Structure 1
Amino acid sequence: MHAIKLKFPKFTFIVIPVFLVLLVCTLKADTLLLEQNIYIANPKPVRNEVDPKDLEREKRERESRRIGRRLTHFFNGETGDPFSYFHPTKQRLFANRYWPVEIQPEAHGSKTEIEVSVNQGESFSYRKPILLPIPNLNEIRYRAIDQLQNEEKWKSIFISRDDVGPKLNYGFDGPYLVLDQTVYGTKETKVKVYSEDEESGVLHQFVKIGDGDWSIIENDVVSFQELQGRQQVTLASLDQLYNRSNLIRFATVMVSEIKAPSLETEFVVLSETGAICNRKSSVWFPKWEHPVPYHVYWRKKDNGDFSKYVKGQILLEDANEGEEYQLEFLAKDELGNQSKPEIWKCKFDSKPPTTTIQKVEEGDSK
């Protein structure tokens, strides 16, 4: 039986490897495409870390600063521009010293002029703005006259002149101290701002911190938490006619913490096992710099209430022989800031040392 030999063209040995390579690449491409499709179909969620409330707060702050910048020249007293405001609750028209009114005659066959009279005074040709000569109510009378001296009947309107800014005042909510014309407070301290205007009413209250921009005071409160370090605070308010109140300026310092007091000792020995003391030993608390008045309080560890340290040395004569003597102490200022309690320890040893004399035998001294 003869074996059958198959003959292949020579180029077959070249095509087969190339085909295999292409097949592998296609499989890899399909796998990659599949992985990409899986990735696209299942994207990893991205967590949004921005709180919508924070965004809204930042938006309000930007807007309040923008309004403050727009009204800066009013705070600097650089305005004499005429303004008017109709108060909807009082049903009255208010203006500052000048009323920016536009009086136009109706269409007429001949040229028409307008006459104006203020508070029953002499009439004059209309020109704007119209000066309001007296505080409170002013009567403005006006009429049209043509070239033929046809006169319109007088018409009247009453305008309240208001060129006085609001009355501005302030107070504090929370712990505070006033020392040398500087207000000291904590993160809980707030400045409460009050404005009153019996005429045209209050537009906004504003605050400026240092050399920054004016910004609107929200909810009539300025928090000390916004004031870092020593700051110069300026308060003001505007009425609806942009009349400015009196300016209020004061310096502020926020004090949010107090350090623990240091302790010094006398007749206390330090050894490898700690401090050693006796009935001659004493401790005291030296003063250190703090922005506001403070006091140091101390007690024997877990023994009664804290005592206020005034001055001088605290003797340790009430300790028991061989026992550990412990003092607990802290500092507290007049704003309510309190340091963490510290503990100082010493072992009480009041036994005197002893001596012995040993007999020296002859020959031992050699």
Structure 2
Amino acid sequence: MIVSLFPLTQLIETLDHISEVELPHRLVAITSACKDNFVEALTAYRQYQDAVTASQAVKLYHTQLLRLHQKLYNHCGSCNTTDPVALCALEELLERFEFLFKNDIDPKTMLACHHQQKVKAYIARHIDVVCIKLLEKQIPEVYLQEIRCAFESLFEETKLPYLQYYHQDYLIQLMDALLQLANDGRNHKNWHYRFLVLMINFNFNHMGFFNRWKALYAEAPSDMESMLRFPKHFSCIQGFAYDGNRSSLLKLMCEYIHAENNPTLKTASEHSLQYIHSNLNGKELKLWMHLAVKAGLTTSTEKKEVALEFSKLIKTREGTLLSPHSLTKMDKGAEYFTAVRVRKQLNAMLAELHRQFPELDR
């Protein structure tokens, strides 16, 4: 499938090397290539013999299409083109493909810029009304402030978590659910309880929101404990999370209450600070270790020696220590999407470095 994108890739990749006179003709060619490609991609998809290969091809095609869209989007912004036809054609191709192959697309791929703008506008249109009405229902204001901050943070490029493909559905459905709760006109309901159940079911695991919950838990622990007494009764939406790299809100709450009520566990939790608890999954941690060795960040240049230290000290986000063998074993062919996520993390670090030291850009 990705081979079908070759003509479109050539047209977009060479945009920076053409003159202003040639630009209108090139945009027309891009528009035409976008219209032709959908049928070509479908034809290529039908030729795959097994579902695994087809699914992998969809992921690679989608990743390349996102990269081309980003490049064309940036180019149109930098040259202030008043003709959006080519960009609209590429966005239409992307949306048609995503609609047809939604179940095969990696939910952790980046969210295209035009989708980000639509989601951002949708949230901005409703957030003020939602906060006002929920405040009238006696929902603690600190929760509403954290929700605002969490939404704003998602749309800042240098902050984690990054906006990912699944956020497109997650954020709109979360906002719709909050709006429905805010507009509920029934009387004598425990709105605070219903609000927390909604946030748990949508797995709103933003750490600021969780920290506000911990503070309110200290004021009325019995109420919170009774609500979480039967965690299996919650209907958490599969695949939904504010931050897909963090434990669920329900798990964070249950573990906190369990630790607070068990002094032994609380002491063990404090003792566990001897480890570095990363926010990386196993594949990401492994790739970070390999890069650290190559970049000379470790005293030893032997991966086996560094892996031995990593295996004793650094935990994955799930709280596990990887074995030295797991850390040194690398299948580059299967780690492409891990590399994409690590590159985003590195870009965020580089952006923060330039923000703190602007003289680096001189």
TM range (shorter): under 0.3
Larger CA Rg, structure 1 vs 2: 1
TM-score, structure 1 as length reference: 0.19
Of Structure 1 and Structure 2, the greater helix share is in 2
TM-score, structure 2 as length reference: 0.19
